[in-house]
Amino acid sequence: MKKIMVFALIVMISGFIGCSKKEEVKSGLSGDLKIAGGTAHIEIMKTVAEVLMKENPELQISISGGGSGLGIKQVGEGLVDIGNSGRDLKDSEIKEFGLVPHKIAIDGIAVIVNPASKVENLTFEQIQGIFSGKISNWKELGGNNLPINIYTRDAKSGTRKTFEKLAMGEAKISDESNFVKSNGNMKVLIADDEGAIGYMSAGYLDESIKSVAVETVIPSLENIRNGSYKIQRYLYSVTKGEAKGIVKVFLDRVLSVQGQNVIANKGFIKVK
């Protein structure tokens, strides 16, 4: 089996709930498919790509991260075939490049802390105070007497854009924050820093970190699905013009019953 090339992020490949032998269609695809952008998408992309390359030995799929801004820019410039984005496209991006967004999943953005933290719930006002630097010690929030270490994504991140829009209001994230390039890196750093706080795709949550409730609502799949957890967004796969050829086959598989099952298994919400 061919290995997927993954740049900037190392993640584990997990099983794909694919077609049964009776349903499997060998399409005889060949050539190269390049995908880049939002890091929240990578596990989904890898799993679908793995099964497609198994079915089609002449097909090579490469996947890289880099953030939503990079994915949008590269697909617009024709450097990749699919640019993944965790934010809505700007009208100017659609107009300049002729981009077409394809909704593939719904994702929550969880506010996360170290498992040793005593803090269980934060209001939006407290979140804004923390990330702007106005609240600087956990004891102000009922936690331990520790400085708050802020972790945030860089400016190209769709996760950051959504967090700023839905959680920060008019407040600005402090320039003294620690900048992180991916959801996976965010999880590792928060798990290793008792005073840390950050945010990441809910699809990446596990026991190594702790998600806090926002306005008493936890970022569970059910709360994201029913809309009671407010910090959520669509995940998009973006193409330049309408999807055709290999690109269309790939996106059709992501949006198929099997592909949407993968999305659910990875901790996201199906769009179909």
The token pair that represents 43 in the structure block: 């596990």
Mean of the pLDDT values across residues 216-242? Answer: 97
| Percentage of residues in the chain having pLDDT higher than 90 | 88
Mean of the pLDDT values across residues 34-42? Answer: 96
- Range name among 13-17, 33-37, 120-124, 232-236 with the lowest pLDDT average: 13-17
Mean of the pLDDT values across residues 96-103? Answer: 97
Give the dihedral sign, CA 202/205/211/216: positive
Residues with Cβ < 8 Å from 51, sequence gap 6 or more?
16, 18, 253
Kindly report the pTM of this predicted structure.
0.85
Return d(Cα 82, Cα 251) in angstroms, integer.
9
Domain boundaries, the chain: 5-105+235-270, 107-226
Q: Which CATH number is 107-226 given?
A: 3.40.190.10
Count CB atoms within 10 A of the CB of residue 224: 25
Which of the listed CATH numbers 3.40.718.10, 1.20.210.10, 3.30.470.20, 3.40.190.10 matches domain 5-105+235-270?
3.40.190.10
In this chain, the answer to whether the domains covering 5-105+235-270 and 107-226 adopt an identical fold is yes
Q: How distant, in Å, are the alpha carbons of 60, 65, 69 from that of 107?
A: 28, 17, 18
The token pair that represents 161 in the structure block: 């854009």
pLDDT-based confidence at residue 22 (cuts at 50, 70, 90): very low
What is the C-alpha radius of gyration for the chain, rounded to an integer number of angstroms? 19
- Condensed to tens digits (0 to 9), the pLDDT of residues 159-212 reads 999 999 999 999 999 999 999 999 999 999 999 999 999 999 999 999 999 999
Residues with Cβ < 8 Å from 119, sequence gap 6 or more?
113, 138, 141, 142, 143, 212
Determine the Cα angle at 159 with ends 156 and 162, to 5°: 105
Q: With helix as H, strand as E and coil as C, how does the chain read?
A: CCCCEEECCCCCCCCCCCCCCCCCCCCCCEEEEEEEECHHHHHHHHHHHHHHHHHCCEEEEEEEEECHHHHHHHHHCCCCCEEEECCCCCHHHHHHHCEEEEEEEEEEEEEEECCCCCCCEECHHHHHHHHHCCCCEHHHHCCCCCECEEEEECCCCHHHHHHHHHHHCCCCCCCCCEEECCHHHHHHHHHCCCCEEEEEEHHHCCCCCEECEECCECCCHHHHHHCCCCCEEEEEEEEECCCCHHHHHHHHHHCCHHHHHHHHHCCCEECC
Mean of the pLDDT values across residues 106-131? Answer: 98
